[in-house]
Amino acid sequence: MSPKKRWTYLPLLLVVLALVAAGCRAAEQEMQPPEDQEQEPAGDDDAQGAQTDVGVTEEPCPNAVNEDNGCIYLGIISDLTVGPFAPLAGPITEAQAAFWRRVNEEGGIAGYDIDATTYVRDNEFNAEVHNRVFQEIRGEVLALAQTLGSSPTLAILDDMRDDSIVGAPASWNSAWEFEDVILESGANYCFESMNGVDWATEQVGTDISLLHIHFPDDYGNDAAAGSEIAAQAHGIEYSAQETPPGRDQQAGAIEAVVSQSPDVLFITTGPQEMVEIVGRAAARGWQGLVLGSGPTWNPALLGTDAAPALEAMYHQVGPWGTWGTDTAGHQAMRDALGDVSEINDGYTAGWVWSYPMRAALEAAAENGDLTREGLLQAVSALTEVDYEGMLPNEAGNYADEPEQGAFRQSIIAGVDTESETGVSTIEDFFTGPTAEEHALDGPCYELG
């Protein structure tokens, strides 16, 4: 074959490739429902009667509990390997799988089983990866049962709004109160800190000094914003200091506690950092009242050298009761999860965060509209959610503006060596005066 002739085949080859390629995408795209399907005249009116679009099939779920039911697919994007929240994210995800298994065992929702295990993805706690894996499951799921992390969730927020995809977060940022597509549960970090400081003033009065040591991230700053507001309201001498993650990085924080010797120490870090700061500061003679944000506790801490100091001083300000709390919801969770190898309040969080999604799905099914748009409308009409006692029903108010709708109650737990998680509730749901009066006209710490 002469060289000239050989090249004449090239355009032909390219045309063939083009056709094959175009065929590929089209074939694949047909498998996912097109994005604009909801604009079709009637949508899919299926056997169960509700209108559906993306992420809802009449075929049963893989490993379905009820073979006769259709399937609603929920996506989960969590931190399952290398990210800093992997020890919590695993239990959160497991608890959510157990939650939906229980819903299915009770017959599902309006003729559908719910699947929250097929589209699980790992975000490595990285916004770019989060966006990448979200695009992968974007055309497959009705909603997100979990989207973990603030900056990761921010990376997909515009797409969620565009597609009307609602998602349950795995954090308590005050910014989520202002997002229609985010189904947050429990008081945010900001209210949590306000309630903590209010509670502390009841114990030790207002003529005190308060030091807030916190992570430099959105979690730490959201919490610190709340404690500062409360401290100002009470006229408390206030200071705040950032501390990096890592147990071996706490020398600066410990020094700050010892040198400033505050009456109340508020800590918003992980459990490892908290125990290091409290343990070392106590060993150097500091004494005072310690308040920790929800994520500062871990049952394993009672096995450390710092256990006596924690027993004497530590209090957890949390969004809801820990694992062993006596409510119907907690009991259902413990029954559904069975013997977990290591009890951890990641399970409790994953379980609680699932209730609003269930309520929204039920409401949407009742309206006969299980499309994404229909689900979003159902969410924005929710004024209460049955949390089976884990949270008061009014915590699930997504209909009202943040100022009225945001849930402001926290609980205080103290160290309890008898309890399975090492802490138990000493002050049940309450709203402190600061949180009560705070006008929530914007997030305490803005994202993006």
Partner 1 sequence: MNRPRSAGRGRPLLYTSYAQDIAMFNTPGKRWGVAALFALALLAPFAFNDDVVLILALALVAAIGAIGLNLVTGYAGQVSLGHAFFLGIGTYAGAVLGGDPEATRALAFGLPMVVWIPGAGLVAALAGLIVGPLATRLRGLYLAIVTLGLVFLGGHLFKEARFITGGIGAGRRGAALDFFGYRFDQAGPLLGLDLTRAQKQYVLALVLLSIFAVLGRNLARSGVGRAFSAIRDRDIAAEVIGVGLTKYKVLAFTISSFYAGVAGAVFYSIAGVVEPTAFNLLLSVQYIAMILIGGVATISGSIMGAIFIMTLARVTQEIAHYIPYISTQAIGGGLINVFQLEAILYGLLIIGFLIFEPRGLFGIWFRTRNYWKGWPFSY
Residue 122 in the binding site for partner 1 (CB under 8 A): yes
Distance, in Å, from the CA atom of 358 to the CA atom of 108, rounded to the nearest integer, reads 10
> Which residue number, 89 or 264, has a Cβ lying nearer to partner 1?
89
Q: Which of 69, 93, 193, 296 binds partner 1 (CB under 8 A)?
A: 93
Distance, in Å, from the CA atom of 295 to the CA atom of 189, rounded to the nearest integer, reads 10
Q: Which of 205, 216, 303, 368 binds partner 1 (CB under 8 A)?
A: 216
Q: Which of 1, 5, 12, 25 binds partner 1 (CB under 8 A)?
A: 25
Residue span binding partner 1 (CB under 8 A) among the ranges 25-33, 183-191, 295-303, 309-317: 25-33
Q: What phi, psi does 351 have (nearest 5°)? A: -65, -50
Structure tokens, 67: 């073979």
> Which residue number, 216 or 252, has a Cβ lying nearer to partner 1?
216
Closest CA to 337 of 105, 89, 95: 95
Residue 97 in the binding site for partner 1 (CB under 8 A): yes
Long-range contacts of 32-39 (CB under 8 A, 24+ apart): 32/139, 32/140, 33/139, 35/139, 35/163, 38/371, 38/372, 38/373
Structure tokens, 350: 């994953």
- Cβ pair 381, 391 in contact under 8 A: no
Residue 180 in the binding site for partner 1 (CB under 8 A): no
CA 291 to chain centre: 21
Residue 415 in the binding site for partner 1 (CB under 8 A): no
Q: Which of 104, 131, 409, 419 binds partner 1 (CB under 8 A)?
A: 131
| Residue 438 CB, nearest approach to partner 1 (Å) | 20
DSSP character at residue 67: T
| Residue 385 CB, nearest approach to partner 1 (Å) | 25
Q: Which residue bears the tokens 């994005």?
A: 35
Residue 64 in the binding site for partner 1 (CB under 8 A): no
| Residue 358 CB, nearest approach to partner 1 (Å) | 20
Residue span binding partner 1 (CB under 8 A) among the ranges 8-16, 179-187, 353-361, 408-416: 8-16
Give the CA count within 13 Å in the CB-facing half-sphere of 339.
0
Residues numbered 335 to 374 that lie near partner 1 (CB under 8 A) are: none
- Cβ pair 405, 419 in contact under 8 A: no
| Residue 432 CB, nearest approach to partner 1 (Å) | 25
Q: Which of 150, 188, 410, 421 binds partner 1 (CB under 8 A)?
A: 150
| Residue 11 CB, nearest approach to partner 1 (Å) | 9
Distance, in Å, from the CA atom of 60 to the CA atom of 70, rounded to the nearest integer, reads 5
Q: Which of 8, 16, 29, 249 binds partner 1 (CB under 8 A)?
A: 29
Q: Which residue bears the tokens 């994007």?
A: 77
Residue 163 in the binding site for partner 1 (CB under 8 A): no
- β-pair partners for 349: none
Q: What phi, psi does 75 have (nearest 5°)? A: -90, 155
| Residue 372 CB, nearest approach to partner 1 (Å) | 17
Indicate the Cα dihedral angle 240, 243, 247, 253, nearest 10°.
-50
Residue 136 in the binding site for partner 1 (CB under 8 A): yes
| Residue 44 CB, nearest approach to partner 1 (Å) | 22
Residue 441 in the binding site for partner 1 (CB under 8 A): no
Residue 447 in the binding site for partner 1 (CB under 8 A): yes
What are the DSSP calls for 257-292, one per residue? HHHH--SEEEEES-HHHHHHHHHHHHHTT---EEEE
Residue 402, Cβ density class (10 Å: 0-12 exposed, 13-18 middle, ≥19 buried): middle
Residue 221 in the binding site for partner 1 (CB under 8 A): yes
Q: Which of 16, 49, 82, 331 binds partner 1 (CB under 8 A)?
A: 82
> Which residue number, 214 or 315, has a Cβ lying nearer to partner 1?
214
Distance, in Å, from the CA atom of 333 to the CA atom of 15, rounded to the nearest integer, reads 58
Q: Which of 54, 72, 80, 166 binds partner 1 (CB under 8 A)?
A: 80
Interface size with partner 1, residues (CB under 8 A): 55
Indicate the Cα dihedral angle 29, 32, 37, 43, nearest 10°.
140
Residue 409 in the binding site for partner 1 (CB under 8 A): no
| Residue 216 CB, nearest approach to partner 1 (Å) | 5
Q: What phi, psi does 115 have (nearest 5°)? A: -110, 120
Residue 218 in the binding site for partner 1 (CB under 8 A): yes
Note the residues at the interface with partner 1 (CB under 8 A). 3, 7, 10, 13-14, 17-18, 20-22, 24-25, 28-29, 32, 80-82, 90-91, 93-94, 97, 117, 120, 122, 126-129, 131-132, 135-136, 138-139, 149-152, 154-156, 158, 215-221, 445-448
